Amino acid sequence: MSHHRRVYLDNNSTTPILPEVVESMRECHLSGVGNPASAHFAGREARQLLEHSRDRILEILNGQASLQADRLVFTSGGTEANNLALRGFTSGRQGRVIISKVEHPSVLGTADYLARAGYDVQRVGVTSHGVVDLEHLNGLLNESTVLVSLMMANNETGVIQPLREVAKLCAKKQIALHTDGVQAVGKIRVDFRNLGASALSFSAHKFHGPPGIGGLLVRHGMAVRPILFGGFQQDGIRPGTENVPIVVGMCRALEIWDANRTKLERQLTGLRDAFESRLQNSDDPLAIVNGSGTTRLPHTSSISFPGIDRQVLLLALDRAGIACSAGSACASGSSEPSHVLQAMGCDEAVVTGAIRVSFGRQNRLEEVIWAADRILLSVRELKRKCLFQDRP
Ligand code: PLP
């Protein structure tokens, strides 16, 4: 091996935790923090930490903190928050549930579960840019619709959905709207109150916080039923002893993002644009940026090399010291084609040849450019091999 360089470009799978976040959790663990449900001093101190974190997170996401306060339910992450939203808002009711075709598997899978339980689940399509078809969606909203769940931004392409427009459509018919904000929170400004959504999911390990913690922010007055039972914590909506140190870590990570957000957004956009133009300025091979015709997250590139098999390319890149992915982490390792690119109507070769490259605050321009050049080299090598193999 000629080099031992490693470049991590799979930040949509997970981001490296910040040292300051580890430190805040360490301090909390070592302070002898109690169970926030206990009435004694150790419990009261734990509750104080927990409620302070809750208030800060609400504030940063612009939830309503006092008077008709919105509710922040801590969960084990994005998957649980999405499950809680889809099941908790529909429980005890029957009717239609609308999601999009490009949702994360945690929403798709929960919607499948609801369909098996007798709900009328409708999956709305997207345009070739990956944006939800608003007309189709509006046409699907009927009297019996109990919930719409539409992601804020896609984890494979980074495409940002027109949520405010969707919220207006839903509000007209008084239909609850949940949004999976897992890839958006801690990356772009999320203003919960002005968005008009009923609930928002997020997850700390996507914004340089600890894994295993996230939340569902629920608008004041919206009833969400539990999916776990047997305790009184978090008003019985999510029973179980709250994990105070990890909540403190999530809060710290979000605060650090908030304090630097303009700078970070500029940094990530800069990395992404430099990466994409490096790939596209080379005539050979052809590189297609999926979703490039619309507004995207600053840190996500879905790149297709038609004629290349993404699994083979990913293996070659791993050997070369570049970590990126085939789509969502849940789908990587398997050879399932991207449901997101399929829903966008991409050609089969574009779907087969698509990799996802996602940036984080730790990435440097120089390593990103190096990675782009290395990817081009690998693609050319693979193409040459194919030509060679095709020869009789
Ligand atoms: N929703 C989206 C859009 C995601 O990208 C992810 C993470 O892969 C999730 C939900 C699930 O979040 P978690 O890993 O915290 O369960």
The protein residue whose alpha carbon is closest to atom 5 in ligand 1 is 155
Could you confirm whether 330 is annotated as catalytic? yes
Report the separation in Å between the CA atom of 204 and the middle of ligand 1, taken as the mean of its atom positions: 10
Contact predicate 36/45, CB 8 Å = no
Confirm if 371 and 278 have CB atoms less than 8 A apart. no
Q: The tokens 């179980």 sit on which residue?
A: 240
What is the reported pTM? 0.96
78 CA from centroid of ligand 1 (Å):
5
The answer to whether the CB of 156 falls within 8 A of the CB of 338 is: yes
155 in contact with ligand 1, CB cutoff 6 A? yes
Q: Is the shortest distance between the CB of 214 and ligand 1 below 6 Å? A: yes
328 ligand 1 Cβ < 6 A: yes
Ligand 1 mean position, distance from CA 154 (Å)? 10
Please state at what angle helix 365-390 crosses helix 310-319, rounded to 10 degrees: 130
CA-proximal residue: ligand 1, atom 12 (nearest): 78
CA 198/CA 90 separation, integer angstroms: 13
> What string of H, E and C letters represents the secondary structure of 329-355?
CCCCCCCCCCHHHHHCCCCHHHHHCEE
pLDDT for 334 equals: 55
**What share of residues in the chain are helix, strand, coil (percent, to 5)?**
45, 15, 40
Nearest residue (by CA) to ligand 1, atom 14, is 78
| Residue 121 near residue 114, CB atoms below 8 Å | yes
CA dihedral 379→382→387→392, nearest 10 degrees, is: -170
Residue pointed to by tokens 């019996």 = 144
Closest CA to 7 of 379, 359, 385, 391: 359
Pocket test for ligand 1, best of 76, 101, 106 (most atoms within 8 A of CB): 106
Q: Is 182 in the pocket of ligand 1 (CB under 6 A)?
A: yes
Ligand 1 touching residue 53 (CB < 6 A)? no
Could you tell me where the beta strands, DSSP code E, fall in the chain? Answer: 7-8, 71-75, 96-100, 120-124, 145-149, 176-180, 199-203, 214-218, 288-289, 300-304, 322-323, 354-358
| Active-site position among 28, 170, 330, 386 | 330
Q: Is 358 in the pocket of ligand 1 (CB under 6 A)?
A: no
383 Cβ neighbours under 8 A, 6+ residues apart: 285, 307, 308
Take residue 180 and report the two structure tokens written for it.
Answer: 């999976």
Task: Report which ligand 1 atom has the smallest distance to the Cα of 80.
Answer: 16
Tell me 42's DSSP state.
Answer: H
**Residue-level pLDDT at 267:** 98
Q: Phi then psi for 270, rounded to 5 degrees? A: -60, -45
pLDDT per residue rounded down to tens, the chain (392 residues): 455 799 999 999 999 999 999 999 999 999 999 999 999 999 999 999 999 999 999 999 999 988 899 999 999 999 999 999 999 999 999 999 999 999 999 999 999 999 999 999 999 999 999 999 999 999 999 999 999 999 999 999 999 999 999 999 999 999 999 999 999 999 999 999 999 999 999 999 999 999 999 999 999 999 999 999 999 999 999 999 999 999 999 999 999 999 999 999 999 999 999 999 999 998 888 999 999 999 999 999 999 999 999 999 999 999 999 999 987 555 445 568 999 999 999 999 999 999 999 999 999 999 999 999 999 999 999 999 877 766 55
> Omega before 392 cis (within 30°)?
no
Q: What is the DSSP letter of 206?
A: G
Cβ atoms of 220 and 69 closer than 8 Å:
yes
